Amino acid sequence: MNKQTKQIAAVLLVLAAVLASGCTDDMSADQIAARMEAKQESIEDFSATMVMTSFAGETETTRAKIMTKMPDKTRSEFIEPAEFAGTVMVRNGSMMWMYDPAKNQVTKMEFPDIGDEPFEMDYTELVRDLLDENDISLEGTEDVGGRSTYVIDATPKNESNREFISKTRVWVDRENWMLLGTEMYDADGNPLVKVEYRDVTFNTGIHDREFIFEIPEGAEVVETSFEDMMPKEMTLEAARANLTFAPKTPSYLPDGYEFDHAMVIGGTREVVSLQYTNGDVRLHLSEWISDDTEQSGMTMGEPEIVSINGTDGELTSMFGMNTLQWSADGISYSLTGVIEKDELVDVAESLV
């Protein structure tokens, strides 16, 4: 879980507990966590339509119907964008099915047995991190989809953190304490991503049959495992032995950077990721065989066109990271790090 996701999760969890308690003063992190856990334990099932809008660069909307039945049943069906419409993901206990309608292919995957609560989170730690790093304020109430909500803002106390996300706004239903929306803002106060939950219901007694996946007629079934899908760290030599193409490496790196490890990601697209580090700072280089159906603008943000050995590339910036993407000789590349544009281009141009 990255820092921004962790912040959002913490905001949502702590606010549900604080508002449910009817008091926002003189509560310790442990008390908030305890109340939050009690509220979470009352939820047996949940359904909604999730709408996620990205405002970075060209506005994009993703819409999906989701439902969950505790402790281990989930179903998601994508409605838009058009290229994802009909995609279905179902988890029922230890098994997950993912259906890609464009390929008429079902991927069946078994989860590892790691206990009754495989995704257990340390709520107290999340709460403490939130209270240490953010100022939380109740901004008032607002009607969302015909429901009255509390509007809460979480602002990082450390000004340097506001370079990534200056504020996260959260909408919480006043009646049932369910989350109805979140919105993140950049350093200039512009919205980055908004997530809305519409037609929310909970504890309606969702039937188990909703989580039984029926394989579409004629669909190809591919079986894999959680372990197989997780990339493993390896040497550059081992990565080359597991690829059908020859990856390139930079002959130039900024001062202090050195190769750390490689990872090969299989599946429908073979990708190699090379990681270089300078202490805790990382520089990522990913390579894969180009697909004629690929679209430009795969990264978020308005791209700047830059030249890489005479080839046009796209440079975007988000959350303090610069990402450079380009293709050459049938291979696509993505280079991401906190280094400046000129040095990022120097690294890209040095690939051999």
Least confident of 91-105, 128-142, 242-256, 322-336: 128-142
If one compares 275 and 144, the residue with the highest pLDDT of the two is: 275
Q: Is the pLDDT of residue 127 over 80?
A: no
| Highest mean pLDDT, choosing among 47-61, 146-160, 194-208, 297-311 | 194-208
In what side-by-side order are the strands of the sheet with 311-318? Answer: 233-234, 258-265, 271-278, 281-289, 331-337, 321-328, 311-318, 304-308
Q: Is 143 exposed, middle or buried (0-12, 13-18, 19+ CB in 10 A)?
A: exposed
The average confidence (pLDDT) of the chain is: 80
Instruction: Establish whether the linkage from the previous residue to 81 is cis, with ω within 30° of 0.
Output: yes
Nearest one of 255, 310, 307 to 283, comparing CA atoms: 255
DSSP symbol at 352: -
Question: CB pairs under 8 A, 24+ apart, for 178-186?
Answer: 178/46, 178/202, 179/12, 179/16, 180/144, 180/145, 180/147, 180/149, 181/144, 181/149, 182/8, 182/11, 182/12, 184/4, 184/8
DSSP symbol at 72: T
Q: Where are the beta strands (DSSP E) in 319-352?
A: 321-328, 331-337
What is d(CA 55, CA 61) in angstroms, rounded to the nearest whole number?
Answer: 9
Task: Extract the tokens encoding 278.
Answer: 């300078």
What is d(CA 202, CA 207) in angstroms, rounded to the nearest whole number?
Answer: 13
Tell the residue number behind the tokens 């999730």, with chain if given: 50
Parallel, antiparallel, or unpaired for β 220-225 and 105-110? parallel
pLDDT, residue 253, reads: 96
pLDDT, residue 77, reads: 96
CB 137 within 8 A of CB 151: no
Task: Extract the tokens encoding 74.
Answer: 């989930």
Nearest one of 184, 189, 201, 192 to 145, comparing CA atoms: 201
Task: Extract the tokens encoding 65.
Answer: 């119907």
Q: Is the pLDDT of residue 225 over 70?
A: yes
4-18: pLDDT as tens digits: 555 555 555 555 555
Nearest one of 107, 82, 98, 83 to 293, comparing CA atoms: 83
- Domain 3-202, CATH: 2.50.20.10
CATH fold group of domain 231-349: Protein Transport Mog1p; Chain A (3.40.1000)
134-162: pLDDT as tens digits: 787 778 889 987 888 888 888 888 776 67
| Prediction pTM value | 0.64
Annotate 156-191 with DSSP letters as a single string. Answer: ESSGGGGGT-SEEEEEEETTT--EEEEEEE-TTS-E
Sign of CA dihedral 249, 251, 255, 260: positive
End-to-end C-alpha distance for the chain, whole angstroms: 33
Where do the domains of the chain lie? 3-202, 231-349
